[in-house]
Structure 1
């Protein structure tokens, strides 16, 4: 069921919705409340054309209105030093400064996505075995049924801390600053 396309939101699948974990009926009711009743004359999408060409083509074909790509907005909109609803752990910047340039994997679920314990443990094992320094941002409450990373075996946490840094929230603009560019920028979720 989670792989099925949401008719009202083609090409999204049920598993792509930010309400993952709610019953499907409740999710659709929520979507119907926030979807416009009058068709829009255009959509603005925070992305780049070359990043998602096939998805944008499908969206344009489905809605039959112009879709304008206006991303990435975070690069052009001046913001205060922090727009986060969580306290940023700025200690990661000094840790990043001690790493070789372009050597750190940055992994973050973002502010909406959630994962289960099994997937999170697999991700932790992958990071521990990557032979690569990493910065892993695990938002409190993002792992279903747990406050933070207490579900991970102590030995795994120790192994991970020897290679990388785990924080609850990072100052993303500073992490991705040209003087601290991660080797890979993997942001899962939204």
Structure 2
């Protein structure tokens, strides 16, 4: 059942939904409340066309309505933290000591969870990048582990020489900081 595609939410599978510790039956009820019986007249999507072309095409084909990619909205809409995690503001003073546009910022956000293998590969990539980095590893985001204790000790010491690992960061301030490298895509920067 968990491997099946969620109706009207293709390509998401039931196992991809953030269950947040609630019973699967309650999740199904919530999905049924979200999925409307009447098709929408249009969609506004906080994304860029080239980031999710397959998903946007699917929505257009399925609903036969206009789909407008209007992202990234975080550049123009003030945000406030919706996380229950305490922000580690010490990362800002660490960023202050870094060269402009030199730091790679890595965060999977407040919902995504990954397995140990993926996280370890990310750690090796950061260690081998020869770039300073700020890596947010949310407690519990690596399946089966509380924080980053799954990493080999030698890798942890290598990571700490080059970057900073925190449990949660003030993302808006981090992204606005002059030390953080900016990914520029066409005219969105």
| TM-score range relative to shorter protein | 0.7 to 0.9
Equivalence for 1:45: 45
Aligned residues: 181
Equivalents in 2 of 1:120, 1:182: separation in Å? 21
TM-score (norm 1): 0.78
- Greater displacement, 47-56 / 117-126: 47-56
Could you say which residue in structure 2 is the equivalent of 1:166? 165
Asked if 2 retains the 8 angstrom alpha-carbon contact of 1:18 and 1:112, the reply is no
Larger RCO: 1 or 2 (CA < 8 Å, sep 6+): 1
Q: Is the 8 A contact 1:18 1:113 kept in 2?
A: no
CA distance in structure 2 between the aligned counterparts of 1:93 and 1:42, rounded to whole angstroms: 40
What's the counterpart of residue 57 of structure 1?
57
Aligned residue number for residue 187 of structure 2: none
Shift of 1:38: 2.5
Equivalences for 1:44-123 in 2 at 5 Å? 44-80=44-80, 82-123=81-122
Could you tell me how far 1:67 is from its partner in structure 2? 1.7
Long gaps (5+) in structure 1: 186-190
Q: For 1:90 and 1:76, how far apart are their aligned partners in 2?
A: 23
Q: Which runs of 5+ in 2 are unaligned?
A: 185-189
Paired residues of 1:128 and 1:160 also in contact (CA < 8 A): yes
The answer to whether the 8 Å contact 1:103/1:132 transfers is: yes
Q: Is the 8 A contact 1:103 1:183 kept in 2?
A: no
State the superposition RMSD in angstroms: 3.0
* Matched position secondary structure for 1:8: coil
Cα offset for 1:142?
0.4
- The reply to whether residue 136 of structure 1 matches residue 135 of structure 2 is yes
Q: 1:131 to 1:183 in 2, by over 3 A?
A: farther
